[in-house]
Amino acid sequence: MDDLQFVQSCLKGNKQSWSEFISRYNRLIYNYIYSTLAVKGRNISTEQAEDIFQEIFCSLIKDNYRKLSTYKGRNGCSLASWLRQVTINFTIDYMRKLKPMVSIDLRDEEGFSLADTLKEVSAGAVEFLHDQNRRKTLQECISLLESDEQFFLELLLNQELTLDEVKDYLKINRGAADMRKGRILQKLQDCFKKKGFLG
């Protein structure tokens, strides 16, 4: 039975197939959770990892297996590869929710607050707003990328991995990494042009 037939069996409510799904992929999903956290440089408790794991499985079966039914096995994509991407997305989303809120009035060791900084910025408000607009546009353009492209950028920019480190992590060759980077940058450039930022 290939991956697509296996998934179809799960979707039809075959309990044996679903039990096999859990036993076959639960360790894999845990590994993907922890490897994503390692790349992001984050440590979370076992309970939080369990929360992510449970959330992933709940999402797969929610609304009569709606999420799981989106797996089509196109372009030779294995179920394990598809679950890897689902896990990466959920883990990143979970970590975003954990970001601490910063008070605008909270003062650092030198007595400065975010409110003070914003007052100073108001002197150069036009430049600041222009930069803010560029940042907002960049975020919008990044949000239009495929989830795997967003993760590629996350590794390259936020985690500051070299292209060689990224290719090793994603288990692709250097040529594929170069092509993917070029394609992503071209998409961002095209998006910026459409929004009037590049001539």
For the question of whether the overall pTM of this predicted structure is more than 0.85, the answer is: no
Average pLDDT, the chain: 78
Domain shared by 90 and 20, yes or no: yes
Q: Are residues 91 and 119 in the same domain?
A: no
Greater confidence, 102 or 178?
Answer: 178
In a domain, 29, yes or no: yes
107 pairs with which residues across the strands? 113
Q: Has residue 102 been placed in a domain?
A: no
Averaged over 44-70, what is the pLDDT? 86
Residues 63 and 134 grouped into a single domain: no
- Residue 38 near residue 109 (C-beta atoms within 8 A): no
Question: Are 130 and 51 in the same domain?
Answer: no
Query: Same domain for 88 and 158?
Result: no
Rounded to 10 deg, the angle between the 125-143 and 174-194 helix axes is 130
107-158 pLDDT, tens digit per residue, is 556 665 555 554 544 444 445 545 667 777 777 888 888 877 888 877 777 6
Please give the Cα distance from 70 to 84 (Å, whole number). 14
Regarding whether 133 and 65 lie in a shared domain, the answer is no
- Residue 106 counted as domain residue: no
Rounded CA separation 198/133 (Å):
13
Domain shared by 124 and 188, yes or no: yes
Dump pLDDT digits (tens) for 72-90.
Answer: 888 888 999 999 989 988 8
Q: Residue 43: pLDDT above 80?
A: no
89 and 24 in one domain? yes
* Residue 50 counted as domain residue: yes
- Domain range for 130 is 114-194
Q: Please give the tally of structural domains in the chain.
A: 2
> For the domain that residue 78 is a member of, what is the CATH number?
1.10.1740.10
